[in-house]
Amino acid sequence: MKSQIVIIALILFSFTGMAQKMNQVKVDDRVKGEVLFGQINLEGLNGELCSSWFKPEFKDYKIDAGILSELKKKDLSELKIILVLGTWCHDSHQQVPRMIKLLKELKFPMPKLKMYAMDTYKKAPGIDIKKIDVKLVPTLIVYKGDKELGRIIESPKESIEADLLEILK
């Protein structure tokens, strides 16, 4: 009985060790500071490392009501989104809070949003950056099933909401 408990404990421990850790922090020698690294979530963006830029931009961004109304008519239930960002990057500091605010306003199902933070070497555990062809951050990629519908790279052409509406047409 005692050996069975030990075996079960070892199995459980090995499974938790294999799971991708969320909101990992690492020191990036290029920026000489800490960055989020790998898969992240809203808790990471609202945490101590990012809150100084994430919270004010999220609060202050004004979404175009007309475009928001058009977006709300779209069926988002079959979409999934990958957002690759750098917590060291000025464009990510500006655009990521805006993207998140828009998705929240649209009541986008947040489990279908996967976010990954790259270091300055363009590495992020848990995702193959080269395979999804991300060169600049932030990059928001919209999928329907396995088909890519479009992406917003670095900064939107018009606005996040206008660019997203164009992707969904």
Q: What is the pLDDT along the chain (169 residues), one digit of tens a residue?
A: 555 444 444 444 444 444 569 999 999 999 999 999 999 999 999 999 999 999 999 999 999 999 999 999 999 999 999 999 999 999 999 999 999 999 999 999 999 999 999 999 999 999 999 999 999 999 999 999 999 999 999 999 999 999 999 999 9
pTM, whole model, 2 decimals? 0.87
- Amino acid 129: pLDDT: 94
Which residue, chain included where needed, has tokens 């075996």?
7
- Amino acid 9: pLDDT: 43
- Amino acid 2: pLDDT: 53
